Amino acid sequence: MNNPFPELDTFLENYNSIISTAQSKAIFVRAIEIQREQIPILEKLIQETELQLVKAQEQKSNKKANLLFCLKLSASAIKKELLLLINLKEDNTEIAWQCLIDAQNEISIAIRNHPYNGDYLNGYSYRLHTYEKILFPSMYFASRGCVVSKSKCSICKLPLEDCNHIKGYVYMGEFCSEIVEKIESFDEISIVKNPADKSCRILSFDKEGKSYDVFTHREVEKSTTGNNV
C-alpha cells in the first residue's frame, strides 16, 4: 500500500522494520529468549502508534486515524502470536489459546476496518487460523442465548438503535462495541462447534469416572458443581 500520509513516512519506516523483525521471530523453533525480547519492542511500538492515532483524532483525520487503529491492532496481533508460542513452550496452554483467539480477533477487526485495502492481511489471518487447526484439538464451546433489554453504543453512549454507529466498525480511530446494561433473561446454554466467542470452551472431559484437561489430557480435579466450561 502506498502511504497516503507523507507526514507518517518516518513512523511507517520504523513500524515496518520492527514488524518485519518480529514476524521473523514468530516461528516455533526460534529461541524462546529471542522471542521474549520482541515483546517490549512491540509494546513500545504499540504505544507510539497510539500517540500517532491521538494526533490524527485531534486533526479530525478519519482515514488516518482508522489506518493507525488498524496498524496498532496488527502490531498487537503479532505480539499475541509471539506470546502464543512462548506460552506453548512453557506448557501454559490456557494462556496460549487466549493469545491466539485475541490475535485472530484483532486481525479480523483490522481487515474489516482498513480504510484503504486490508486484503494484504488475509495471509496473516490464514496463518493464525492454521495455528488453531494444527496446534489445538477440535473442541466444543458454550454459547449462551439471552435477551438484552438495555444496551448502548461504546462511542456515543446512545442506545444502539438510536445512534449512527455500527457495532464492529471503527470511527475516527475508535471501535464501536455494544455495552450491555441489562439482561432480561438467559434462555439457554448451547454446546456448539463454531461459536461467536472461542474463549467460552469446554475445559475438560470425563472418562472412566475421571476428568481430563481437553488440551493436555492430564487428569484434573473434577468440579463439584459440574461446571467444566
Beta bridge partners of 219: 212
**pLDDT recorded at residue 176:** 96
Supply the DSSP string of 126-174, one letter for each residue.
HHHHHHHHHHS----EEEEEEEEEEEEETTT-S-GGGSS--TT-EETTE
- Mean pLDDT, all residues of the chain: 91
pLDDT digits (tens, 9 = 90+) for 101-124: 999 999 999 999 999 989 999 999
Distance CA 111, CA 106 (A): 9
Share of the chain above pLDDT 70, in %: 96
**pLDDT recorded at residue 228:** 54
CB 132 within 8 A of CB 107: no
Distance CA 163, CA 149 (A): 16
Q: Is the dihedral of CA 111, 115, 119, 124 positive or negative?
A: negative
Distance CA 104, CA 132 (A): 10
Asked if residue 229 has pLDDT above 70, the reply is: no
The three cell numbers of residue 150 are: 438495555
Helix or strand or coil: residue 39?
A: helix
